[in-house]
Amino acid sequence: MSGSVPSREVARRAFAAEFNDATYTFKESDDERAPVYSLLPSGQRANRVFVVATLTETEDVGEDSEYWRGRIVDPTGTFFAYAGQYQPEATAVLREVETPAYVAVVGKPRSYETDEGETNVSLRPESITVVDDATRNRWVVETADRTLGRIEGFDGADEYAAMAQTQYDPDLSVYRDQVIAALEDVEDDAEVTAEA
Residue 195 lies in a domain: no
Distances in Å between the alpha carbon of 101 and those of 29, 58, 72? 39, 11, 9
Query: What are the b/e assignments for 62-92, b being 16+ CB within 10 Å?
Result: eeeeebbbbbbebbbbebebbbbeebeebbe
What is the tens place of the pLDDT at every residue in 2-46? 444 556 789 999 999 999 999 999 999 999 889 999 999 999 999
Residue 4 lies in a domain: no
The CATH number of residue 17's host domain is 2.40.50.140
Residue 1 lies in a domain: no
pLDDT of 195 above 90: no
Domain count, the chain: 1
CA neighbor of 94 nearest in space, from 66, 135, 132: 66
What is the tens place of the pLDDT at every residue in 116-143? 999 999 999 999 999 999 999 999 999 9
Residue 194 lies in a domain: no
Residue 101 lies in a domain: yes
pLDDT of 63 above 70: yes
Largest CA distance in the chain: 61
pTM of the complete model: 0.91
Give the domain range for residue 102. Answer: 11-188
Count other Cβ atoms within 10 Å, centred on residue 106. Answer: 17
Residue 40 lies in a domain: yes
Element (H, E) at 47: none
How many angstroms separate the CA atoms of 144 and 60, rounded? 32
Strand 25-27 and strand 101-113: the pairing is: unpaired
What is the tens place of the pLDDT at every residue in 71-130? 999 999 999 999 999 999 999 999 999 999 999 999 999 998 889 999 999 999 999 999
pLDDT of 153 above 90: yes
